[in-house]
Amino acid sequence: MGASAGVHYVSGPLSIGVSWRSPVWFQKFSWNRKDLSGVSHAMNFHMDLPQVVSMGAGIVARKGTLFGADLRWFDYANTAGFDKVGYKADGSIAGFGWRNIWAVGGGIQQKVASKTKLMLGYNYSGNPVPAEYTFFNTPAPAIVQHHVSGGIIQRMHGWDAVVTYYHAFQNSITGPWISGQGPIPGTSVTSKMSEDSVTIGVGKSF
């Protein structure tokens, strides 16, 4: 369960928007595991999505040219599953230990023919994972920060065919191996991540 609200204002070629999304609350994730002796244990983990505040603006620079930019704040430090870190009493992980981040992005859409538009964009986001908690985040190293994207919109028989691509450049962090008693001296864990994505879609306006 969650909620969102926003305001969108348009004045001539300029449009401005501000929005807020509450945390998205989930039920606890529950599962069973067996230890090395074969004994079953009931496990659970509570993780929500963070609240997000967004501000953006767009402008029609000239006929067929659109510019847009936005700024977003993610409240991970106060979100279940991300706020805590370390081990619980049963030996399971208490959380990921993420910090709040800002993300900023911008892009351009250019009409190059009567039925063809090209898009290009860039996005930078903070790294929510502190290096000292690399060990707890090896399953989900969301550490990429620089992203570039591009795409094409082709109008065909009243439909829009859309193909997009983005690349997130590799980033890495290193921290100690952490046991129930704390960081183990002389150890290290390194996470590296990059991303590539291609999206193909169709749409129709009425």
Boundaries of domain holding 64:
4-203
Q: What is the CATH number of the domain that holds 63?
A: 2.40.160.60
Is it the case that residue 98 has pLDDT exceeding 90? yes
pLDDT digits (tens, 9 = 90+) for 8-26: 999 999 999 999 999 999 9
Identify the pLDDT of residue 118.
Answer: 97
Total domains present in the chain? 1
Backbone phi, psi, residue 134, to 5°: -50, -40
Is it the case that residue 205 has pLDDT exceeding 90? no
Mapped onto helix, strand or coil, the DSSP state of residue 137 is helix
Mean pLDDT, the chain, rounded, equals 94
Q: What's the predicted TM-score (pTM) here?
A: 0.88
Identify the pLDDT of residue 41.
Answer: 82
CA distances from 135 to 44, 68, 97, 129 (A): 20, 37, 11, 10
